Structure 1
């Protein structure tokens, strides 16, 4: 259990604390540590970063990513935050009225903004910008997958074409 606390970013000094002494973010981390202490192969999380500050959100998503990559855990995250889904998830499953409407790679899902919109899902801002730029005549390569690379590409094309 102490190793699990360390893994979620809580020191062992929190091991003996009452839940009443913990902040909301610490309570969430403690709950996840409890799950990790059981060493499951699959972890299912429903909106695990809701209510966390931006730093806590990134830390938790990085933890879930590491659990998958480093510890070979299957991590299933239910989320409405498409920025997180795009950045951290390998696959997307869209469920509507109990039926699976889409199940494929994150890349295939977000590379088709019209598909996202047809399912009432707003793509991440970066994807929307990439789509708008393409519609405006910019030739944005498919391999550009983050806002920084997109900005560099825009500057490159503007310099090239004046």
Structure 2
């Protein structure tokens, strides 16, 4: 995601502090599909002002390394919240193909999930990129054994399941 686009989504000016958390998931040799390993990239961006004490090194490390703590802190500070999800695909760029182990002209799946205040103002945006031909998307409520079950806020926050 371009920094300019990110600033617009989060409602901040270019140069404003943003917390960026990045993960690369790679399923090893035991989970190969058509001879290629399954990888995905996750980037999360949050206006740093949304988190208390983010400038404290210990707290910053907790926010970066402990997703549950990170989201609980955001919800505690800014709840109630809602989630908005946009799923798109396109041909992968060269740098994305390299990171995700994709072939030329393969489509990339992009899932952008935005955590927002009840009024719709964005708090955090997460972008997941994965090879489109190696994953399926399912909404967690639809994948549940009991589709009439009432889900907790954390279960609803998990939202999307990517399956190999």
TM-score using structure 2 length:
0.27
Query: Higher relative contact order by CA 8 Å / sep ≥ 6: 1 or 2?
Result: 2
Select the structure that is richer in helix: 1
Considering only CA atoms, is the larger Rg found in Structure 1 or Structure 2? 1
TM-score using structure 1 length:
0.27
Select the structure that is richer in strand: 2
